[in-house]
Amino acid sequence: MKPALCLVAMGALVMDSSLQCTKQLLSERFGRGSRTVDLELELQIELLRETKRKYESVLQLGRALTAHLYSLLQTQHALGDAFADLSQKSPELQEEFGYNAETQKLLCKNGETLLGAVNFFVSSINTLVTKTMEDTLMTVKQYEAARLEYDAYRTDLEELSLGPRDAGTRGRLESAQATFQAHRDKYEKLRGDVAIKLKFLEENKIKVMHKQLLLFHNAVSAYFAGNQKQLEQTLQQFNIKLRPPGAEKPSWLEEQ
């Protein structure tokens, strides 16, 4: 077949598939057509979508917390510098300004450590939501499209099977059977792919969140208890390195 004819034939097949799927979709929406349903799998998919929405909310709040902590650190640093300067220029209040300057300096140090932990937490949630979950949902979209195609060609085959039998319809029936089988194989493969990805995603989510929630709890608790040693141990436990104070905003952290 010539290239031009091949393109025409391919275009006709794509158009036919598109029309079949549109017909099936409308039939399902108006309650006239049957739809293949895997209840267990669809419940898992809906749960994933709901979980992703909730984790996106946590991610947004985590980013807001990071921004507020960074702003607090800048204010504490400036306040500490102001106290230190006044300590040198106010002999009668040198001691009072001095220990306030030291307090702000310590708060900044602990704040930088907490910010490093929160940044690590946010980065991990971001990866889980925008990469791991999104990758699974991309496969889900392919599965849902394959399900629609499968049902469209199944319906077409059923209608042909109920019609009159003659030499012409036998050929069409055989062609419809072959097309249906190809789409059935594609649908079943993607259904299996989705089930496997959902399983691995759940295992990965539990592993990641167990680590991140422990990190978040330990770091926040140590910070508000004023426990500098525990804060530093928390970062060491999770292999988090702080960038020096002159490092570029927004991150004070560097993952190993």
Mean pLDDT, residues 138-147: 94
Q: Which residue has the higher pLDDT, 6 or 34?
A: 34
State the Cα–Cα distance between residues 224 and 246, nearest whole angstrom.
25
Tell me the CA end-to-end span of the chain in Å, nearest whole number.
57
- 159 Cβ contact list (under 8 Å, min separation 6): none
Q: Which residue has the tokens 């902590």?
A: 69
Q: Per-residue pLDDT averaged across 53-68, rounded?
A: 97
Please write the tens of the pLDDT for every residue from 118-133. 999 999 999 999 999 9
Cβ burial of 226 (10 Å; 0-12, 13-18, 19+) is exposed
Q: Distance between CA 4 and CA 6 in Å, rounded?
A: 5
Q: Which two tokens stand for residue 162?
A: 């109920």
- Average pLDDT, stretch 226-255? 69
Across 5-14, 88-97, 103-112, 122-131, least confident range: 5-14
In terms of pLDDT, which residue wins out, 173 or 79?
79
Output the pLDDT for position 120.
95
Q: Can you give the pLDDT at residue 161?
A: 78
Give the mean pLDDT of 158-167. 73
* pLDDT, tens digit, 9 for 90 and up, residues 201-225: 999 999 999 999 999 999 999 999 9
Residue 135 to residue 198: CA distance in whole angstroms: 10
